[in-house]
Amino acid sequence: MHTFCGTAVSRGFVSGPAYLLRNAASETVPELTVDDPEAEMARLKAATEVTRQQIASLSAELKKWSGNPDPDIFSGHLMMLEDPVIRAECATLIREQRRNAEYAVQQVAAKYMTVLSEMDDPYLKERSKDVADVSRRLIRNLLGNETAIPFAADKPCIVVTDELTPSEVLSFPKRMVLGFAADRGSATSHAILLARALGIPTVVGLRTLSTVTHTGDLILLDGSRGSVTVNPDAAARAAFAKLQERGRALETALEAGQDQPGMTADGHAVPLYANVDVNTAMSSLHQVHAEGIGLYRTEYLWIALNREPTEAEQTEAYTQAVRTLPPGTPVTIRVLDLGGDKLTRQDDRQEDNPFLGNRSIRFLLRHPETFRTQLRAILRASAHGTVQLMYPMIATLDELLAANRELERAKEELTQAGIPFDHAIKVGSMIEIPAAALIAEDLAEICDFFSIGTNDLIQYTLAVDRLNEAVSNLYQPTHPAVLRLIDRTVRAGHAKGIRVSVCGEAAADPAIAILLVGMGIDGLSMSSNLIPLVKYALRAVPLAEAQSLARQCLEARGATAKTIETMCREVLVRWVPAMR
């Protein structure tokens, strides 16, 4: 028996036989000398065509279920398949060195994967995975595997692999996959977002799992805590069966209350909103009865297109989001938050500390044309529903005032052109930099709402890079300093009569959500698939209990993040025993 601890990225408990899709060692293809290079070139051409068709049909399937105009993860794959430099290098290996096509593809792909994975730019680093995905598919087609994914399991199984790719997630027959377990992967990679949207329990970051697992081994996968056990003994199987039973009961309970609004047990309303971007399947918002969009991350439009979208493209994307929701439902669109780890390929920013650099509103204020184009597009979408506009990364009052001046100009431009928009559009600020929380009284004077971005607020308060695993123990949502900044923000907002919500990941942890509500937070926004979990917890806890927890957490002297977290979990399990 081996137990591995990784990162839980898609909830659920599943057990079943392993299907070893691939591990690092299974990736080599034979190096052969060929007699007829032109026949080899013809084989490569035919396999490339098959690959192109497969990618096109995967892309069509993705569009069908995501409901987005162009959520195209696969356009990058097609570009790589067509890339003249890559093709020429393969041809050289085949024609001049008389190598077999599989080997040529693997060699050339390996070279570009190394180059890309060593880049500093996170966007380009991520593209090395696209090269891996498309070259694997091409090699499998060369080897004559018709489905391009060698999935030969005859009963439902847990797919174990080194790293998942989006095309694999979409290609597997859905009923045959109980779960995914991968050695590597991040919670925000496309493959994982797809697995989550499909509701398949998934754990990543299991390091060496694929090297010790064989097809047919019994696997227990806990997609809620992030553990995977291979060949469990009887005691582990019995303990897991209990967890599974509880998990099933919880899932049933969650489904039952899904169409209800977010509120505490005694009816204090806490609307639960969804965090979305251009890749989000909007249908998922209906499924979980999201009460609106609390955060539309617009930068993913730039990243998906790898260029600046036009005003028309933006207007179309924002309007589409507004139209998918019932009239009157709030849609909070945040202006561009490029920078930090979110960059496009064309981005030539070379910064030593990108998270402290020319990111987000700072970039927009230096590029007024880009800023006003986006503001006009958001305003135009506001003619079709209840749009709210939100500024990210505000650190100073000047930034907020300057952003509002650009907004006034954008309104003026539309008025001149006779284009309709909501003249009373609400404008708010994210509070995600400690400085903003500390001047929240002043910001509240000129904002219609606040939304606290805990992801960055934690990072900047504790000086801990939100992406750096080496310091992840210091990334503490319940650190007293973070809570005091949130408390201050809530008080400042409420003193001016404005609503204060949270749109960082902390909102999606049921125990922390109870604390936030007790602190006076008016709404919570999160990935749509987590809404049922948080809704279920909140609907079980009376407001007075949440408030008493908040008081204890804020007043406890000498408390640490850990002790506060324990206090929150105690309240959670007391009122929501199913979440023990």
Instruction: Name the residues annotated as catalytic.
Output: 190, 503
Task: Determine, following the binding rule CB under 5 A, whether residue 505 of this chain makes contact with Mg ion.
Answer: no
Residue 170 φ/ψ, nearest 5 degrees: -75, -25
Cβ atoms within 10 A of the Cβ of 481, count? 14
Q: Which C-beta is closer to ligand PEP: that of 12 or that of 477?
A: 477
Q: Are 100 and 30 in contact (CB under 8 A)?
A: yes
Sheet holding 218-222, edge to edge: 2-5, 227-230, 218-222, 13-22, 157-161, 177-182, 202-204, 7-10
In the complex, least distance from residue 469 CB atom to Mg ion, rounded to whole angstroms = 19
With CB under 5 to 8 Å by kind, the binding choice for 12 among Mg ion, ligand PEP, none is none
Interface with Mg ion by CB under 5 A: which range of 194-202, 370-378, 455-463, 483-491?
455-463
The DSSP-derived string for 474-528 is G--TT-HHHHHHHHHHHHHHHHTT-EEEE-SGGGGSHHHHHHHHHTT--EEEE-G
Task: Determine, following the binding rule CB under 6 A, whether residue 382 of this chain makes contact with ligand PEP.
Answer: no
Given candidates 432, 448, 509, 522, which one binds ligand PEP under the rule CB under 6 A? 432
Q: Are 543 and 266 in contact (CB under 8 A)?
A: yes
In the complex, least distance from residue 335 CB atom to Mg ion, rounded to whole angstroms = 12
In whole angstroms, how far apart are CA 553 and each of 7, 367, 482, 561, 566? Answer: 27, 43, 12, 10, 10
Contacts of residue 496, defined as CB under 8 A and 6 or more positions apart, other chains included, come to 441, 444, 445
How many binding residues for ligand PEP (CB under 6 A)?
10
In the complex, least distance from residue 484 CB atom to ligand PEP, rounded to whole angstroms = 17
Place of tokens 């490029």: 338
In the complex, least distance from residue 187 CB atom to ligand PEP, rounded to whole angstroms = 12
Given candidates 185, 453, 477, 510, which one binds Mg ion under the rule CB under 5 A? 453
Given candidates 222, 456, 509, 565, which one binds Mg ion under the rule CB under 5 A? 456
219: exposed, middle or buried (Cβ count in 10 Å: 0-12, 13-18, 19+) = buried
Given candidates 89, 163, 168, 432, which one binds Mg ion under the rule CB under 5 A? 432
Task: Determine, following the binding rule CB under 6 A, whether residue 545 of this chain makes contact with ligand PEP.
Answer: no
Interface with ligand PEP by CB under 6 A: which range of 205-213, 343-351, 399-407, 450-458?
450-458
Q: Nearest residue by C-beta to Mg ion?
A: 456
> Parallel, antiparallel, or unpaired: how do β-strands 449-452 and 499-502 relate?
parallel
Contacts of residue 298, defined as CB under 8 A and 6 or more positions apart, other chains included, come to 277, 314, 318, 333, 334, 335, 336, 337, 374
* Cα–Cα distance measured from residue 301 to residue 283, given in angstroms and rounded to the nearest whole number: 19
With CB under 5 to 8 Å by kind, the binding choice for 512 among ligand PEP, Mg ion, none is none
In the complex, least distance from residue 430 CB atom to ligand PEP, rounded to whole angstroms = 7
Task: Determine, following the binding rule CB under 6 A, whether residue 454 of this chain makes contact with ligand PEP.
Answer: yes
* Cα–Cα distance measured from residue 388 to residue 52, given in angstroms and rounded to the nearest whole number: 41
In whole angstroms, how far apart are CA 109 and each of 112, 385, 438? Answer: 5, 47, 50
Q: Which C-beta is closer to ligand PEP: that of 288 or that of 394?
A: 394
Task: Determine, following the binding rule CB under 6 A, whether residue 297 of this chain makes contact with ligand PEP.
Answer: yes
With CB under 5 to 8 Å by kind, the binding choice for 399 among Mg ion, ligand PEP, none is none
Task: Determine, following the binding rule CB under 5 A, whether residue 223 of this chain makes contact with Mg ion.
Answer: no
Q: Which C-beta is closer to ligand PEP: that of 262 or that of 453?
A: 453
Q: What angle do CA 338, 342, 346 make, to 5 degrees?
A: 80
* Cα–Cα distance measured from residue 409 to residue 379, given in angstroms and rounded to the nearest whole number: 12
Task: Determine, following the binding rule CB under 6 A, whether residue 455 of this chain makes contact with ligand PEP.
Answer: yes
Task: Determine, following the binding rule CB under 6 A, whether residue 40 of this chain makes contact with ligand PEP.
Answer: no
Place of tokens 């849609």: 331
Cβ atoms within 10 A of the Cβ of 39, count? 12
Task: Determine, following the binding rule CB under 6 A, whether residue 279 of this chain makes contact with ligand PEP.
Answer: no
Interface with ligand PEP by CB under 6 A: which range of 32-40, 59-67, 111-119, 448-456?
448-456
How many binding residues for Mg ion (CB under 5 A)?
3
β partners of residue 524: 272, 502
With CB under 5 to 8 Å by kind, the binding choice for 504 among ligand PEP, Mg ion, none is ligand PEP
Task: Determine, following the binding rule CB under 5 A, whether residue 299 of this chain makes contact with Mg ion.
Answer: no
Interface with ligand PEP by CB under 6 A: which range of 247-255, 259-267, 439-447, 454-462?
454-462
Residue 511 token pair: 């125990």
In the complex, least distance from residue 333 CB atom to ligand PEP, rounded to whole angstroms = 13
In the complex, least distance from residue 299 CB atom to ligand PEP, rounded to whole angstroms = 8
Name the site residues for ligand PEP (rule: CB under 6 A). Answer: 295, 297, 337, 432, 453-456, 503-504
The site for Mg ion (CB under 5 A) is made up of 432, 453, 456
